[in-house]
């Protein structure tokens, strides 16, 4: 079938809206009509070339939609179901999956970075040549064919433009707080970087009962949004940020969540910790970057530095759980959305993201 898709032909080029071919779903695959797709910095890493990926590619990894058809041997998913798409599908059989870490699945991870589905091929093509799926999805298109493992069925009461955010930003940011760091009520928490993931971490901190919750960012508008979502204090980024945080938290924070992926900020985030504190890194730094940490301080103050991938989430458990909290009025997901766009406005949406003019932009489809 012919569908409209935003195609990235090469790094440092704009997205181009084109009519491309989408094949029917095969064994274990699902056809989804897209409803919404979040605009995320991880997609921009494709444009900048920081993420090495086969091209041309249809990007987009944070999305929701309605199932239109299923292929043979699909279980638990039917036409008409509302789904959130998961960019880290899991096989359920490899060592990380059996260790309750499906986001580290050894079966799907290499295929995901190759831009193909489980059989090693794509369902997208243009002029007979393959188009690759970013993160086994390719959400910047009117329809997608994905593996059933990438679909999480949700309640129809949830607006799909809100549900899309759970596919990446919310699960990553809130999950970093609730799953990876396991923040306890009354512990102090700092969020460095108030993009979609960082603001989601603020929401997670509010849910966890952290106090105080300090937001750190260079853009005042983002700090204002963080306050609206539950941050008790806001600190401007810069050389004095660590000292300001240590004063607010009376000697340093119990937890710091770094949601940018910048080594200089990661090093500064360590300075914000108090004795026994934990630094959780959920911002994805460039692959060739490095950090400098003072090992003596890590030992003497018993500090912990740990990575967090996809909020350590289990999608089939956590996506519905987060959306139930939204329905109960305890998770302000709409507060993350600054603006809606049409697919043909995708380059405008990324320009706004890079300018820091928005929290989360969301592309909506017919």
Q: Which residues contact 86 (CB under 8 A, 6 or more apart)?
A: 149, 150, 151, 152, 167, 315, 319
Rounded to whole angstroms, the maximal C-alpha distance in the chain is: 63
Q: What are the E-state strand segments in 165-204?
A: 189-192
Give the pLDDT of residue 194: 96
Using CB atoms within 10 A of its CB, is residue 107 exposed (0-12), middle (13-18) or buried (19+)?
middle
Size of the chain, expressed as the number of residues it contains:
366
pTM: 0.95
- The residue ranges of the chain whose pLDDT is under 50 are none
Q: Which residues contact 285 (CB under 8 A, 6 or more apart)?
A: 261, 262, 263, 266, 291
Q: DSSP letter string over 232-272? A: SEEEE-STTHHHHHHHHTTSSEEEEEE-S--HHHHHHHHHT
- Coil, helix or strand at residue 282: coil
Integer Cα distance of 174 and 179 in angstroms: 8
What the chain holds in terms of domains, given with CATH numbers, is: 2-167+332-364 (3.90.180.10), 173-310 (3.40.50.720)
Query: In 3-state terms, the chain is what percent helix, strand and coil (to 5)?
Result: 35, 25, 40
Give the pLDDT of residue 293: 87
Query: What are the residue ranges of helices labelled H in 28-91?
Result: 41-48
- In the chain, how many H helices and how many E strands? 12, 18
Task: Please name which of 177, 175, 170 lies closest in space to residue 197, comparing C-alpha atoms.
Answer: 170
Using CB atoms within 10 A of its CB, is residue 72 exposed (0-12), middle (13-18) or buried (19+)?
exposed
Give the pLDDT of residue 291: 87
pLDDT digits (tens, 9 = 90+) for 238-278: 999 999 999 999 999 999 999 999 999 999 999 999 999 99
């Amino acid at each position: 079938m012919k569908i409209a898709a935003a195609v990235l032909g090469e790094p440092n080029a704009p997205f181009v809206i084109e009519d491309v071919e989408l094949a029917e779903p095969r064994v274990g695959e699902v056809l989804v009509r897209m409803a919404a797709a979040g605009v995320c910095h991880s997609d921009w890493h494709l444009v900048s070339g920081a993420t090495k990926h086969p091209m041309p590619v249809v990007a987009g990894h944070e999305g929701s939609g309605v199932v239109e058809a299923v292929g043979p041997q699909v279980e638990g998913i039917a036409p008409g179901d509302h789904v959130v798409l998961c960019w880290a599908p899991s096989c359920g059989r490899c060592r990380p999956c059996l260790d309750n870490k499906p986001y580290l699945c050894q079966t799907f991870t290499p295929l995901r970075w190759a831009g193909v589905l489980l059989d090693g091929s794509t369902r997208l093509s243009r002029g007979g040549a393959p188009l690759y799926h970013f993160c086994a999805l390719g959400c910047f298109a009117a329809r997608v064919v994905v593996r059933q493992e990438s679909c999480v069925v949700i309640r129809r009461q949830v607006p799909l433009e809100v549900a899309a955010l759970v596919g990446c930003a919310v699960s990553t940011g809130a999950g970093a707080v609730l799953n990876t760091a396991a923040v306890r009520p009354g512990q102090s928490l700092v969020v460095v970087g108030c993009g979609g993931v960082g603001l989601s971490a603020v929401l997670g901190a509010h849910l966890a009962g952290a106090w105080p919750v300090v937001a750190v960012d260079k853009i005042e508008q983002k700090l204002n949004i963080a306050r609206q979502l539950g941050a008790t204090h806001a600190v401007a980024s810069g050389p004095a940020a660590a000292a300001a945080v240590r004063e607010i938290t009376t000697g340093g924070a119990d937890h710091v969540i770094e949601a940018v992926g910048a080594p200089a900020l990661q090093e500064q985030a360590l300075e914000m910790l108090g004795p026994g504190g934990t630094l959780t890194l959920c911002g994805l730094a460039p692959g060739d970057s490095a950090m400098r940490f003072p090992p003596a301080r890590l030992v003497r103050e018993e500090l912990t530095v740990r990575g967090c991938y996809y909020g350590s989430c289990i999608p089939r458990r956590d996506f519905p759980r987060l959306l139930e909290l939204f329905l109960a009025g305890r998770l302000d997901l709409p507060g993350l959305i600054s603006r809606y766009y049409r697919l043909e406005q995708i380059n405008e949406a990324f320009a706004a993201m890079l300018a820091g003019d928005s929290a989360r932009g969301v592309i909506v489809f017919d």
